[in-house]
Each structure stands twice: as structure tokens, then as C-alpha cells.
Amino acid sequence: MQKQEKNNKEKLQFINFKKGDEVAFEYFFHKYYNQIIGFCIQFIYDKQEAEGIAQEAFLNLWKHRITIKKVNGISAFLYTFSKSKCLNVLRHKKIKEKYSSKTLNEKEKNLNITVLNSMNFDSLTFKELENLIFDSLDELPSKTKEIFIKKRFDKMKNKEIAVEMGISIKTVEAHFTKAIQFLKIKLVDYLPSFLFFMLLK
């Protein structure tokens, strides 16, 4: 009985997800995010890169939610997308020398994933998203833009930015908050607020 109730709950979440409900999206995010990261790490051995692939997979899932026909199509989409990205990393970036073509072929053959050939992956990539962010930032005052880039892309702490720019930490926080609020408005049509704050944290 409990299993049936769980299945019914998930089906309801899926229906809401298809309608664009962000709470339902968050439900599937928490269910699969760590699994996708773990899957990617098995092949690229880089946690940060794996997290990036997982985030990009969920961004694409949101953009293509209408094309998903069944509940299990969500995991198939995420694993298929992540598989493609991992293979791309192994082939073109050659992260580690031990990834010879023979090893790559063996790993590829061992992937037990349903390939969704009918899906059209014509989506917003992270590179395109960052380009959109930079284009939007050009509309901000130069200091606000500079602080956002230092914090978001250079991974600097508020104190480090304050010291380097000769301003207070509160000023840094105020400018960053201003940039976030502006970008949220600019990017509202591209991704849900839940994923937005995760990407720009």
C-alpha cells in the first residue's frame, strides 16, 4: 500500500513538473542530483566537473520537461545527457592519460542507459547561459558588474573583494545582491528560481 501511495505521489509530482511547477522540479532534483554526480565521477574522476555536468543536465531537463512522457523518462533523460557529456570530456579534454581509446570503449559498452533518440537536445547550455549573464551584466554599473564577476566567477570571498577594491564588506554584499536581483529578472524565462540561486550562489 505504501509503495502504491509513493507511486501516486510521484506521478502527481511529475504532472506538476510538466506544468512548470518549481516545487515538483525541486523534488526530482533532490531525488537524482547526487546519483548523477556519482555516475559522472565514475568516468571523469573530477567532482567539480561532475557537479557541473549534473547542473547542466537539470537545466536541460527543465527546458525540455514538455518532451518527457513518463516519470521514468526523467532519469533516462538525466543519465543520457550526462553520459554524452562525460564521453565528450573523455574524448576531447583527455582529463587523464590513462583514458586510452580502448578504456573509453570498454566504459562506453558498460553503460546501461536507455538512449532517448527521439529527444531533441536543442537547449540552453551553460556556456550560453554564462554569455547571457555577461550580456545582462553589461547593463549594470561597472562596480556592480566587477564585484559580481569576482565573487561568482573568480570565487573570491567578500572580504577579499573588499580589501582589493578598498570598500567595505557591506558594500560588496549590497552590490552583489543588486546584481542577483537584476539577473533573476533578466533570466526568469530561462530557468526556475530554485535552479537560479543554485547556479549563482
Total number of domains in the chain: 2
Residue 116 belongs to some domain of the structure: no
Rounded CA gap, 15 and 155, in Å? Answer: 38
Share of the chain above pLDDT 70, in %: 72
Kindly state whether residues 96 and 146 are assigned to the same domain: no
pLDDT of residue 86: 83
DSSP of 151-170: HHTS---HHHHHHHHT--HH
pLDDT of residue 25: 95
Residue 174 belongs to some domain of the structure: yes
**Structure confidence by residue, pLDDT tens digits, 65-112:** 999 988 888 998 998 899 888 878 877 655 445 555 555 555 543 442
pLDDT of residue 125: 59
pLDDT of residue 112: 29
Range of the domain at 182: 126-199
Kindly state whether residues 99 and 159 are assigned to the same domain: no
Against a cut of 0.85, is the pTM above it?
Answer: no
pLDDT of residue 186: 81
Kindly state whether residues 23 and 96 are assigned to the same domain: yes
Q: Which of 110, 140, 159 is the last residue of a domain?
A: 110
Q: Which of 81, 110, 139 is the last residue of a domain?
A: 110
Share of the chain above pLDDT 90, in %: 37
Per the CB < 8 A criterion, the answer to whether 160 and 147 are in contact is no
Residue 115 belongs to some domain of the structure: no
CATH code (residue 178): 1.10.10.10
Kindly state whether residues 80 and 145 are assigned to the same domain: no
Residue 32 belongs to some domain of the structure: yes
Residue 120 belongs to some domain of the structure: no
CATH code (residue 65): 1.10.1740
**Structure confidence by residue, pLDDT tens digits, 105-163:** 555 434 423 332 333 334 455 566 667 777 888 899 999 999 998 988 787 899 999 99
Q: Which amino acid is at 25?
A: F
Q: Which of 82, 110, 138 is the last residue of a domain?
A: 110
pLDDT of residue 59: 92
Residue 118 belongs to some domain of the structure: no
pLDDT of residue 21: 93
End-to-end CA separation in angstroms for the chain = 40
Residue 160 belongs to some domain of the structure: yes
Kindly state whether residues 49 and 80 are assigned to the same domain: yes
Kindly state whether residues 91 and 145 are assigned to the same domain: no
Kindly state whether residues 6 and 96 are assigned to the same domain: yes
Please enumerate in sequence order all residues whose Cβ is within 8 A of that of 110, keeping only pairs 6 or more positions apart, or say none: none
Burial of 77 (0-12, 13-18, 19+ CB in 10 A): buried
Q: Range with the lowest mean pLDDT among 16-20, 32-36, 118-122?
A: 118-122
